[in-house]
Structure 1
């Protein structure tokens, strides 16, 4: 009997549905992100997929821009296993393991082609507190070529309208509960399902040893310090980007672009 096989596409689809449980406008954010890439650096970019997870950004970049090349970086061994399995045999995409909280994380990147045309990240950096995130932005500025772009799409609430945000949170909780009753997985349930995949059991256990099991850890993300889009734009300018602006937003999330 051979080794168990993994349906990589099915797990990518499952990841997307789980993320959409939290972010129903996720694909719209990706569309705007790729519009900006194509508009500012052209149809053949060299892209750093920062905190890449399963490679969601790389997947969308390469489907829309077939001559692009991507490098994904993440620390999560289980998500990297899904990314590598999904892109196996595709020479346009490669993935490396690195801890973004380590000041030397960029040493792991393959840089024979020089700085990147675009550094892209989505729903990934919110686990960093404000000052470490500021430091990471400074490192990213050194990885983007002149005229290149950095974009971060993430949770960026502007708490200056508390009644609006309270109403939005209540609305979203009701939507999520409705979708959950229809059988969709949330963050913890998705990880429980992945742990049941025989070929991935060891790498999921490795992930749990690093970060904890999301099904039993009450909160494995930063929920203390979230900054509004204006902070992200100002910080990008402070660390060396010539221009920065919000190119998409919702009441709770934003997509901020820095032009080097």
Structure 2
């Protein structure tokens, strides 16, 4: 029997719990990014692009904070987009697009957003593509609009401490998994593949991401992202949040 058919919200909830086990300060980075959105819009309801948005976690929090927001979720993963569609229903536009292809912008319902937010996603792309993507993101922002990216961005001045922080976080995660307190990344995907409704989407996902999950992770320090954003044409860029070896950078067009 499909847990998805019984209650689609189960999968949104289970995704959030799995992500929070991996990123205990996940809500803090979301709040920091939405604070930046509020700052550039004066608190008015924004037109927001949730880039590589997966199940729509950022979009749901955007709508909770700004009920009148116009939200677009863009991703390529068929499993996560299915969950996003159920969670958001008619409150957001769902776009299936590949960010490795520069034509992704042609699929957007609007070409001018107040804000573009993304979290823990762009590290699957190679360096040269991330740099080009930043310039493309600038082109879909209105003047004065903000882009924010929260991801694994170690502090380059603390290499030894960063390694210890990663080891400590890994040990805590493994303890949570071993106790059954939370579901690991591979276990979550195995459960989705076993669900009657999501199984066909999981097969489709395997075709999109063959052999390996996405590719090699690439996690440069925050300074690299700041420099790439400035090189992409943004007027200013910097770090707006840090938690251990993760950070959120923001840039204003």
Taking structure 2 as the reference length, the TM-score comes to: 0.94
1:161-180 deviation per Cα after TM superposition (whole angstroms, max 9, x unaligned)? 22202211221121011110
Alpha-carbon distance between aligned partners in 2 of 1:27 and 1:226, rounded to the nearest angstrom: 21
Q: Residue 212 and residue 19 in structure 1: after superposition, are their counterparts in 2 closer, same or farther (change >3 A)?
A: farther
Partner of 2:120: 123
Alpha-carbon distance between aligned partners in 2 of 1:103 and 1:35, rounded to the nearest angstrom: 29
Partner of 1:207: 205
How many Å apart are 1:39 and its aligned residue? 1.4
Secondary structure in 2 matching 1:175: helix
How many Å apart are 1:53 and its aligned residue? 0.3
Partner of 2:241: 248
Partner of 2:192: 194
Secondary structure in 2 matching 1:198: coil
Alpha-carbon distance between aligned partners in 2 of 1:6 and 1:30, rounded to the nearest angstrom: 29
How do 1:1-260 and structure 2 match up within 5 A?
Answer: 5-41=5-41, 42-88=43-89, 90=90, 92-111=91-110, 114-183=111-180, 184-212=182-210, 217=212, 220-223=214-217, 225-260=218-253
Secondary structure in 2 matching 1:227: coil
1:127-148 deviation per Cα after TM superposition (whole angstroms, max 9, x unaligned)? 0111110000010010000010
How many Å apart are 1:160 and its aligned residue? 3.4
Alpha-carbon distance between aligned partners in 1 of 2:6 and 2:74, rounded to the nearest angstrom: 22
Check whether the contact 2:9–2:86 (CA below 8 A) recurs between aligned residues.
no
Unmatched 5+ stretches in structure 1: none
Alpha-carbon distance between aligned partners in 2 of 1:104 and 1:251, rounded to the nearest angstrom: 35
Alpha-carbon distance between aligned partners in 2 of 1:252 and 1:138, rounded to the nearest angstrom: 25
Unmatched 5+ stretches in structure 2: none
1:172-219 deviation per Cα after TM superposition (whole angstroms, max 9, x unaligned)? 121011110221111111000111211111111111221148xxx5x6
Secondary structure in 2 matching 1:53: coil
Check whether the contact 1:8–1:86 (CA below 8 A) recurs between aligned residues.
yes
Alpha-carbon distance between aligned partners in 2 of 1:28 and 1:256, rounded to the nearest angstrom: 14
Check whether the contact 1:6–1:199 (CA below 8 A) recurs between aligned residues.
no
Q: How many matched pairs? A: 251
- Structure with greater helix percent: 2
Q: Residue 24 and residue 152 in structure 1: after superposition, are their counterparts in 2 closer, same or farther (change >3 A)?
A: same
Alpha-carbon distance between aligned partners in 2 of 1:212 and 1:28, rounded to the nearest angstrom: 33
1:70-128 deviation per Cα after TM superposition (whole angstroms, max 9, x unaligned)? 0111111111111011112x3x31101011011111111112xx400000000110101
Aligned-residue CA RMSD (Å)? 2.0
Alpha-carbon distance between aligned partners in 2 of 1:25 and 1:206, rounded to the nearest angstrom: 31
